[in-house]
Structure 1
């Protein structure tokens, strides 16, 4: 039997769905990862096996084959660790409930099973939402503005055991996320000391800034030191519209 779970891969800031397939069979003890993984993905073998051992599961004399689909896309980073481990635990019978394909797993693992953050978490969450993912398991990170992301359920976990417990319906055992005060900073609460209307002169430059703000154009400032570039740049946000989520 082959178990399939979902994760998210990144091409720059663009995300795509990665189907993590795991099959475990009786054979010479080994773990093989295919699907164009780079060195950072191949290194997940030791982290995943160590995390599985946390559940007192024996993979001796077993061959673990992991396929990351689509196979024509290069995979990089350590954020597939959690998905690989959960698929392996499902294959070994530790996770008994079915895992919906609309559920994704994003996160790196340490040797003791701790789920850790990594580069690309936020773009991955936004990509998951666009791909129709309903729920995503991810590591705790105080700088992620999860309260601003609508339309997708973000389940924050600290340990792979918490993921298994949640999948089995034991939601009360999950740790609750805490966010830093920086996440609650909004354009309204940001006290701007300098306002565009307070700039005297520079009519031609101000006209260019107004056109750039109205049409969402790029803008290049060029001139000698002291001519007012920094002042105009600092006051420019006061005529821009409020940022959306």
Structure 2
């Protein structure tokens, strides 16, 4: 039998649909994952095996093949654990396969069957909404996903058992609530600056007109001190800007407890930061300081 579960792969901040196809059939006992998986995805078979065992299920003594389609698109990250586990459960009849057709799924599994938060839930939720699907994600990321669409069906279980019970009807999962992060303390205030009239005037003009600002001067002249106070005279993020900024922060794994913030981002990279840290990139491309700002 072949079961299918929808998940996503990330290209920048775009969520690309990926089909997790699971086949359980006769042959030598094995658990194979194909479709250009990276090391984290390849290791998911051990996490899935342990999580199913902890949930009271055992893999059948058959050949299990998982294909991540399209097969020529590289797959990276641990968020494929949950869709693979649900695909296996549907293939062996542990949950009805038709219940999964209306959802995109992502989440990392612990060996005890609990779900750990993953990066990129917000862009994944927006991608699922564009496909007309709901979203299944870990409970710790549910508040983040709720920002994508107020009418979207979102399930945010804490464990694999909790999700299985929801599908069986023995437990009902409520929709997570979108939350804003409680801003910790006031921002550094421009009113605290004594002197520097020309620099303060330049900051006010740049903030009022939305202009770029380049600061030059010797160390200790007050460039960083002034720059850190620029957000205090900027308005809060608009709803559209909030989602745009938060999608990048989500991919970088910087949304604590799935809560968004309406404060404008301020980054202060060290002068010795590498080019990759500033502009992003790497083997698994991540946003750099320029994008996070």
Q: Same fold (TM over 0.5)?
A: yes
| CA–CA separation in structure 1 for the residues paired with 2:95 and 2:188 | 55
Question: Residues 65 and 146 (structure 1 numbering): CA distance in 2 closer, same or farther, change over 3 Å?
Answer: closer
Q: Could you list the per-position Cα deviations for residues 84-136 of structure 1 after superposition, in whole angstroms to 9, with x for gaps in the alignment?
A: 1101111111112513544011111122222122333344334434x335321
1:237 aligns with 2:231: yes
Deviation at 1:58, TM superposition (A): 4.4
Where does residue 77 of structure 1 map in the other structure? 77
| CA–CA separation in structure 2 for the residues paired with 1:168 and 1:232 | 58
| CA–CA separation in structure 2 for the residues paired with 1:49 and 1:125 | 27
Aligned residues: 237
Q: Which has the higher contact order (CA 8 A, sep 6+)?
A: 1
Where does residue 156 of structure 1 map in the other structure? 156
CA RMSD in angstroms, aligned pairs only: 3.2
Structure 1: tracts of 5 or more residues without a match? none
In the alignment, is the contact (CA less than 8 A) between 2:188 and 2:232 conserved in 1? no
Deviation at 1:157, TM superposition (A): 1.2
Deviation at 1:212, TM superposition (A): 5.9
Residue 185 of structure 1 is aligned with which of 182, 187, 196? 182
| CA–CA separation in structure 1 for the residues paired with 2:202 and 2:142 | 37
Structure 2: tracts of 5 or more residues without a match? 243-293
Where does residue 136 of structure 1 map in the other structure? 135
1:210 aligns with 2:210: no
Q: Could you list the per-position Cα deviations for residues 167-222 of structure 1 after superposition, in whole angstroms to 9, with x for gaps in the alignment?
A: 233443x4897999xx4426xx963451469775543663366336533x544322
Where does residue 15 of structure 1 map in the other structure? 15
Name the one with the larger strand percent: 1
Question: Residues 123 and 175 (structure 1 numbering): CA distance in 2 closer, same or farther, change over 3 Å?
Answer: same
In the alignment, is the contact (CA less than 8 A) between 1:196 and 1:236 conserved in 2? no
1:223 aligns with 2:224: no
In the alignment, is the contact (CA less than 8 A) between 1:79 and 1:107 conserved in 2? yes
1:46 aligns with 2:46: yes
Deviation at 1:66, TM superposition (A): 0.8
1:194 aligns with 2:198: no
In the alignment, is the contact (CA less than 8 A) between 1:142 and 1:178 conserved in 2? no
Q: Could you list the per-position Cα deviations for residues 73-94 of structure 1 after superposition, in whole angstroms to 9, with x for gaps in the alignment?
A: 1001111010011011111111
Question: Residues 115 and 222 (structure 1 numbering): CA distance in 2 closer, same or farther, change over 3 Å?
Answer: same
Where does residue 36 of structure 2 map in the other structure? 36
